[in-house]
Amino acid sequence: MDNKKYNFGAGPCILPDNVLNSASDAVKDYNRTGLSILEISHRSSEFENVISECENLVRELLGVPDDYSILFLQGGASTQFSMVPMCLMQQHKQAVYLDTGYFSLKAIKEARLFGTVRIAASSKDSDYDYIPYDYHIPGDSAYFHCTSNNSIEGTEIFTFPETNVPMICDMSSDIFSREINVANFDLIYAGAQKNMGPAGLTLVIVKKALLKGIQNLIPSMSDYRIYDAHNSMFNTPPVFSIYVAMLNLRWLKEAGGVKQAEERNIAKANLLYDAIDNSDHFYGLADKTDRSRMNVTFKMYSREKETEFMNFAESKGIIGIRGFRSLGGFRASLYNAMDISGVEVLVQCMNDFVDNDLFENFKLKPI
């Protein structure tokens, strides 16, 4: 269609057309009930079926063991920055954090309100363009926290450390994009709006044994145990966001599950990184070993041409590639619903732009 857009925005995420169509129908009349999905009671059997299917899909797609609880919460991953230490930083009053960028720094800031935070390692010395791996996690720590994918800096952890303390991971921007062994983690949290569904929902996968060990006095709305005991419905949950996430996970299952999604995501990332690496005008920002498959960050050697390229890309229907305000340049997010054909359009756009005769007078790749 003439107004086709290719949404490379970092979030809210791109969603498949059939998910959007089904959600649109449900807004008008959910399952011929005569009610909108926006109107149905969260205590109704209709919604109980929705949340049950959503949980089952999470378990199936990620291979979640039976001794883990699945919670659907509000507040985004940012609320988890405080919920995690509030619940878990108790006896030892020290937690270990890996500092890999903007969102890990936000988590560290919140954790320091509840106890001592030790930084295991940091890549701040190089503007967070790599993942540090040479560090030690003290065995008497309350837990170890890391961010699996840094959506602003464009780095991703592909090898997680072995530790004898609980491992907590913020997987907001790469959940469901690749296979993981959930049993290696004690608590995973993820804001849905990056790769799972619309904004307003946060997924938490937590080991039941970890919940049993909580001893702190915690406000009910910040207590994982309360949500677990009430099947995520201690208060009114984000009904519509859970419903759309369920539709999206159905789509993911029908598309071959996480394994097939990972293969597609590798192919998409390789296509774009190859175009960047083989260009005399664009260059990548992240260390090649730690490059994110979800968020590709890059700039132009001729910085004065970046706005012109942004406008050129928008004229081709490409939106959402402006880099984060503190980093500049470009960021292309390749979430599950982004088809490889969209990446091909972006690569062709890059090639067409630099083929312009006016470009030859501007700075090229340094020799």
pLDDT the model gives residue 248: 98
pLDDT the model gives residue 364: 67
Q: What is the pLDDT along the chain (367 residues), one digit of tens a residue?
A: 457 899 999 999 899 999 999 999 999 999 999 999 999 999 888 999 999 999 999 999 999 999 999 999 999 999 999 999 999 997 667 999 999 999 999 999 999 999 999 999 999 999 999 999 999 999 999 999 999 999 999 999 999 999 999 999 999 999 999 999 999 999 999 999 999 999 999 999 999 999 999 988 899 999 999 999 999 999 999 999 999 999 999 999 999 999 999 999 999 999 999 999 999 999 999 999 999 999 999 999 999 999 999 999 999 999 999 999 889 999 999 999 999 999 999 999 999 999 875 565 566 676 5
The span from the CA of 8 to the CA of 319, in Å, is: 6
Q: What is the torsion angle, in degrees rounded to the nearest 10, for the CA atoms of residue 19, residue 24, residue 28 and residue 29?
A: -10
Q: Are 103 and 151 in contact (CB under 8 A)?
A: yes
User: Which alpha helices (H) appear in the chain, and where do they start and end?
Assistant: 17-28, 45-62, 76-88, 102-111, 208-212, 224-229, 239-254, 257-277, 306-315, 340-354
The span from the CA of 338 to the CA of 349, in Å, is: 16
CA distances from 317 to 1, 279, 314 (A): 11, 22, 5
Q: Are 153 and 327 in contact (CB under 8 A)?
A: yes
The span from the CA of 117 to the CA of 212, in Å, is: 23
CA distances from 203 to 57, 146, 167, 192, 311 (A): 12, 16, 16, 7, 36
pLDDT the model gives residue 199: 95
Give the domain ranges of the chain: 17-254, 257-358
User: Quick one: 255 exposed, middle or buried, by C-beta within 10 A (0-12, 13-18, 19+)?
Assistant: middle
Q: Are 245 and 197 in contact (CB under 8 A)?
A: yes
- The shares of helix, strand and coil residues in the chain, as percent rounded to the nearest 5, are 40, 15, 40
The DSSP 8-state label assigned to residue 122 in this structure reads E
Q: How close are the terminal C-alpha atoms of the chain, in Å?
A: 42
Closest CA to 27 of 198, 190, 234, 235: 198
pLDDT the model gives residue 367: 54
What is the pTM (predicted TM-score) of this model? Answer: 0.95
Indicate the fold that domain 17-254 takes in CATH: Aspartate Aminotransferase; domain 2 (3.40.640)
Give yes or no for a cis peptide into 161 (omega within 30° of 0): no
Q: In what order do the strands lie in the sheet with 295-300?
A: 282-284, 295-300, 330-333
pLDDT the model gives residue 90: 77
Tokens of 131: 């993942």
pLDDT the model gives residue 265: 98
pLDDT the model gives residue 1: 45
Q: Are 359 and 305 in contact (CB under 8 A)?
A: yes
Closest CA to 291 of 153, 178, 118, 141: 153
Are 17-254 and 257-358 equal in CATH topology? no
The DSSP bridge pattern shows strands 187-191 and 155-156 to be unpaired
Q: The domain 257-358 is classified under which CATH number: 3.30.1220.10, 3.90.1150.10, 3.20.80.10, 3.40.140.10?
A: 3.90.1150.10
pLDDT the model gives residue 216: 85
pLDDT the model gives residue 359: 60
The span from the CA of 100 to the CA of 296, in Å, is: 16
